[in-house]
């Protein structure tokens, strides 16, 4: 069988001296290009044709509004909350709070696509709650591409981010282990810097709540907060009920807003596919986009061919299992936390990822597209095994003939 020539062209730069380039990226704010002895950043660029980028951008815009429409259908329907795996502790909050205007349920999100060697685009999932990779996409990718004379569409990310945060106006940005967790700390610091707002960064573990009012470790009251804190954790964390109460009573405004968890659940993709098959809700144009870009996804393993199973709230590859044509388990993630012990599982038809030959060997390429303030605006490349998890590398994505 002849290998299909890939739509991605790899520009290998591993022959360049790495240390000064890592230092330059560090000065720009990307401080984890190397993690100890491990090289997280692959010194290469995967370049796609402009035609493929434009299709990705258009597909992202269409899928964004399709999933937005699905959330509005699901809203206040507890039977569907249950199917999506939404923890009951959040139901009252989701019911009582008004939905944001169309396209802005989440102001900071990232699609993950499988783009095959032949350019076929399929949606794997949407992280609409707490996406990382912002520093890699908004800071590192434009610099790396610029050094090589390759176009990058990511330059507009900072402007979109400033617009989003200008609307939400958080007084605090938080992550777990702020100051010691390099990636999450660097991510919220870059977001704050690009926002242009006066925002304090804090550790989620230092927060405390008194009768619905949230304080940081210095007893400063927090009223509007951006947090790299997955909302489903409220179902299992000791202080989850108290945090939910603070949001329900309006004492804390959380950004992304509570309804972003409905977009985040992979069960929403299963709901969209189910409604597509039943001929419900969507227009003919929307049905065309679903048919082209969404993989058959169900709440049960009904496939006769190869498929993937994953938790509705799995992150960084955790809980992902790959099954072959006869239903046998081929591969599972053994590094990330298996959240399927806490939340329901969905089953999705397998899609092909493009394969690239790098200095690290042949790797599978995952293509991310950020959606900030409702606009698709930035590519994120990650390369690794068939399951993209914590051990995957960052690789810059560039575009040929970018208009």
pLDDT, tens digit, 9 for 90 and up, residues 6-63? 999 999 999 999 999 999 999 999 999 998 889 999 999 999 999 999 999 999 999 9
Could you give phi then psi for residue 226, rounded to 5 degrees? -95, 135
Compute the half-sphere exposure of residue 400: CA atoms within 13 Å on the CB side of its CA.
12
Return the number of other C-beta atoms located less than 10 Å from residue 118's C-beta: 11
Distance CA 386, CA 311 (A): 17
pLDDT of residue 354: 98
Provide the 3-class DSSP secondary structure of residue 111.
strand
pLDDT at 1 over 50: no
Confidence label for 4 from pLDDT (cuts 50, 70 and 90): low
Percent of the chain topping pLDDT 90: 90
Confidence label for 80 from pLDDT (cuts 50, 70 and 90): very high
Provide the 3-class DSSP secondary structure of residue 40.
coil
Query: Does residue 394 contact residue 42 with C-beta atoms inside 8 Å?
Result: yes
pLDDT at 2 over 60: no
Contacts of 397 by beta carbon, 8 Å cutoff, 6+ apart: 45, 46, 47, 48, 141, 152, 367, 379, 380, 381
Query: Does residue 85 contact residue 343 with C-beta atoms inside 8 Å?
Result: yes
- DSSP class of residue 327 equals S
**Which residue matches tokens 């090289």?**
39
Mean pLDDT over each residue of the chain, to the nearest integer:
95
Query: Which pTM was predicted?
Result: 0.96
Region 276-304: what's the mean pLDDT? Answer: 97
What are 217-272's pLDDT values in tens digits? 999 999 999 999 999 999 999 999 999 999 999 999 999 999 999 999 999 999 99
Distance CA 272, CA 189 (A): 35
């Amino acid at each position: 069988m002849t290998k299909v020539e890939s739509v991605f062209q790899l520009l290998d730069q591993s022959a360049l001296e790495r240390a000064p380039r890592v230092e330059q990226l560090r000065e720009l704010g990307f401080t984890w290009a190397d993690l100890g002895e491990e090289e997280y950043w692959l010194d290469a660029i995967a370049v796609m044709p402009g035609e493929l980028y434009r299709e990705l951008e258009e597909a992202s815009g269409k899928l964004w509004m399709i999933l937005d429409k699905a959330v509005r259908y699901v809203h206040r329907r507890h039977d569907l909350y249950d199917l999506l795996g939404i923890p009951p502790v959040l139901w009252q909050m989701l019911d009582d709070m008004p939905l944001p205007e169309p396209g802005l349920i989440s102001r900071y999100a990232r699609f993950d696509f499988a783009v095959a060697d032949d350019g076929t685009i399929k949606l794997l999932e949407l992280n609409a709650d707490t996406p990382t990779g912002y520093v890699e996409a908004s800071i590192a990718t434009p610099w790396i591409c610029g050094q090589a004379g390759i176009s990058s569409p990511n330059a507009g990310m900072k402007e979109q981010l400033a617009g989003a945060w200008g609307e939400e106006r958080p007084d605090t940005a938080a992550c777990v282990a702020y100051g010691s967790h390099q990636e999450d700390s660097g991510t919220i610091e870059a977001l704050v810097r690009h926002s242009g707002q006066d925002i304090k960064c804090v550790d989620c573990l230092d927060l405390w709540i008194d009768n619905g009012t949230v304080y940081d470790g210095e007893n400063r009251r927090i009223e509007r907060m951006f947090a790299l804190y997955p909302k489903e954790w409220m179902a299992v964390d000791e202080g989850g009920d108290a945090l939910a109460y603070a949001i329900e009573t309006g004492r804390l405004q959380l950004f992304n807003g509570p309804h972003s968890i409905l977009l985040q659940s992979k069960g929403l993709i299963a709901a969209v596919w189910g409604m597509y098959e039943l001929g419900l809700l969507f227009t003919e144009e929307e049905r065309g986009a679903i048919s082209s870009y969404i993989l058959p996804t169900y709440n049960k393993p009904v496939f006769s061919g190869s498929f993937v199973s994953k938790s509705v709230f799995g992150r960084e590859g955790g809980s992902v299992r790959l099954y072959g044509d006869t239903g046998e388990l081929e591969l599972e993630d053994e590094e990330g936390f298996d959240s399927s012990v806490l939340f329901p599982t969905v089953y999705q038809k397998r899609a092909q990822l493009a394969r690239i030959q790098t200095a690290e060997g042949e790797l599978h390429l995952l293509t991310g597209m950020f959606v900030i303030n409702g606009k698709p605006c930035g590519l994120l490349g990650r390369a690794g095994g068939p399951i993209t998890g914590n051990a995957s590398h960052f690789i810059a994505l560039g575009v040929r003939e970018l208009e």
